[in-house]
Amino acid sequence: MPHPLGTQPSKIIAVHLNYRCRAKERGRAPDQPSYFLKPPSSLSGVGDVLVRPSGCELMSFEGEIALVIGRRAHRVAPEQGWSHVAWVTAANDAGAYDLRHADRGSNLRSKGADGFTPIGPRLLDATGLDPAALRLQTWVNGELVQDADTSTLLFPFGALIADLSRLVTLEPGDVILTGTPAGASVVSPGDTVEVEVSGPHQRVSSGRLRNTVVEAEHTLATWGAMPRADAALRADAWGPARAAEPALAADVAKALRGLSTATLSSQLRKRGLQHMTIDGVRPTQPGAKLVGTAHTLRYLPLREDLFAKFGNGMNAQKRAVEELRPGQVLVMDARRDPTSGTIGDILALRAQLRGAAGIVTDGGLRDSAAVAALNLPTYYAAEHPAVLGRRHVPWDTGTPIACGGALVQPGDILVGDADGVIVVPPDLVEELIVDSVEQELQEQFIAEQVAAGEPIEGLYPLGSAWQPTYQQWRSTHS
């Protein structure tokens, strides 16, 4: 389907980094924006396929907000920049990481292939939009993978236009791709990418830009640079939103559900790890078992001016919930301050529907009765009716945090029961399971002997005199 511009622009300019969440993913926050050009021949529209070049494995998507220039911009001031925008729409800054080496910096072949800039489907009149209150969402095969609003931009739209127009004249019809938020990653043939831009306050939407990835039917000619990839490039392409925080293997999860936190704590202590419990939290469902990998959310102390900037819209709290993947536990660092809620029933329900394994917060829980009624193990410090703005600013996600006095990294394993929650390092989990199973068998044997009237001396802990009896018992119980 033709793109909605009708005519080809003189140029397409793309911004490298412009969302704070994406800058955090990349580990760098630029002082000034930087850009690259995409050829007008890369434009396409809704329903057009994204052709992955033969020999490539790292086809990427990047949902973006596209600005279409309406009148000539030459040396304009930042406060005048937005007035030169006629239209706003959705875009996908697609690319093939495998070809990035060929034009390092310019991205010509990796980002400029025919069809690699789909935009549309509808053009929104910029005059009726607030450029600081637009929402960008991206779905892959129906799963929401990017969700951000323009209040979190490093460089507002007016500033981008002013910066570019110092040296480059922007002509009517030119397209500016304004950067992608966290969550951009790799797609494969058969995957469908959808991007939508909306103005929630104006209740307008670009509609969903929908494109499906296909494999090229022709072989890439061997004259010129060929695709190549290594472990570092794959990690860069997949990104932390898709590559980090791996799901827990089913057999490991099953084994952990059969073990108590008391036993795991004992085994961790034997290995010199004595600060692995999340202290001061209690469960909404004492009989439920929590097992999953950590996805982290950090709150900072309330500062009213920063809450206005970070606490509204699609803030870190809401992003953390939307980033959850099946089997993950949302773990919150609220600085052990229980005097304000850190999550309530609606976001807890959303977490459950996204397949979360549970929630842990060292802060307050709102709507506690409603959350307790969900089939979602939740641990919290206290009930409290107040919202975030009383004590906390939702700050960031996917970083190491302190929760209940324990350091929790994204991807750590959390196990919870009626006694509390414990953090298990993933690289120790297999040996912990083996030794914990043995410990619990010994304790079952000891409990049976005590119940039969035996004294505990030499029995608890299990002494050498009891070893033959235990081994015989174990042969029938393991």
Q: Is residue 319 a part of any domain in this protein?
A: yes
What tokens were used for 394?
């939702």
Q: Is 85 in contact with 157 (CB distance < 8 Å)?
A: yes
Residues 197 and 135 in one domain: yes
Closest CA to 42 of 136, 88, 109: 109
Residue with tokens 């089997």: 327
- Confirm whether 330 is domain-assigned: yes
Structure confidence at residue 240 (pLDDT): 65
Query: What CA–CA distance (Å, rounded) separates 318 from 343?
Result: 10
In a domain, 419, yes or no: yes
Rounded mean pLDDT of 339-344?
Answer: 95
Sign of CA dihedral 349, 354, 358, 364: negative
Best CA proximity match to 23, nearest among 169, 185, 179: 179
Same domain, yes or no, for 323 and 363? yes
Question: What is the Cα–Cα distance from 109 to 92, expressed in whole angstroms?
Answer: 16
Domain match, 408 and 309 both: yes
CB atoms within 10 A of CB 471: 10
234's CB contacts (< 8 A; 6+ apart) are 58
Which residue has tokens 């053009």?
123
Answer whether residue 44 shows pLDDT above 90.
yes
What pLDDT score was predicted for residue 247?
A: 67
Q: What is the mean pLDDT of residues 343-363?
A: 94
Q: Are residues 44 and 83 in the same domain?
A: yes
Are 67 and 136 spatial neighbours (Cβ–Cβ below 8 Å)? no
Range of the domain at 107: 12-242
The CATH number linked to 267 is 3.50.30.40
The predicted model gives 278-288 an average pLDDT of: 95
Pair (357, 445) in one structural domain: no
The average pLDDT across 301-312 equals 86
Question: Torsion angle of alpha carbons 185, 213, 153, 410, nearest 10°?
Answer: -20
- pLDDT score at 478: 67
Provide the number of structural domains found in the chain.
Answer: 3
H or E stretch at 260? none
- Mean pLDDT of all residues in the chain? 92
CA 363 – CA 384 distance, rounded (Å): 9
- Does residue 356 sit in the same domain as residue 318? yes
Tell me, yes or no, whether 137 and 170 share the same domain. yes
In a domain, 108, yes or no: yes
Q: Over 90: is that where the pLDDT of 351 sits?
A: yes
The CA dihedral of 76, 77, 81, 83, to the nearest 10 degrees, is -80
Q: At which residue do the structure tokens 């909605």 appear?
A: 4
| Residue length of the chain | 478
> Does one domain contain both 56 and 181?
yes
Q: Is the peptide bond before 338 cis (omega within 30 degrees of 0)?
A: no
Question: Between vectors from CA 42 to CA 41 and to CA 45, what angle results, nearest 5°?
Answer: 105
Backbone angles phi, psi at 161, to 5 degrees: -65, -40
Q: CATH number for the domain including 194?
A: 3.90.850.10
CB 58 within 8 A of CB 233: yes
Any domain includes 366? yes
The pTM score is 0.62
pLDDT band at residue 455 using 50, 70 and 90 as cut-offs? very high
Residues 289 and 303 in one domain: yes
Annotated binding site for Mg(2+): 367
For 214-263, how does the pLDDT look when each residue is reduced to its tens digit (9 = 90+)? 999 889 999 999 998 887 788 788 876 454 455 688 899 999 999 999 99
Tokens 């990653």 appear where? 185
Asked if residue 185 and residue 156 are part of one domain, the reply reads yes
Are 419 and 435 in a shared domain? Answer: no
Cα(first)–Cα(last) distance of the chain, in Å?
64
Q: Which helix (H) or strand (E) holds 52?
A: strand 50-52
Whether 6 is in a domain gets the answer no
The annotated binding site is made up of: 344-347, 366-367
Does residue 7 lie within any of the structural domains? no
Domain boundary among 242, 264, 299: 242
* Residue 278, pLDDT above cutoff 80: yes
Stretch 166-192: mean pLDDT: 94
pLDDT at 299 over 80: yes
Same domain, 142 and 190: yes
Cβ proximity of 50 and 94 under 8 Å: yes
Q: What ranges make up the beta strands (E) of 302-344?
A: 328-333, 341-343
Let me know if residue 205 belongs to a domain: yes
Q: pLDDT higher for 5 or 76? A: 76
Binding-site residues for substrate, please? Answer: 344-347, 366
The residue among 214, 242, 270 that closes a domain is 242
Residue 334: both structure tokens together = 């609220």
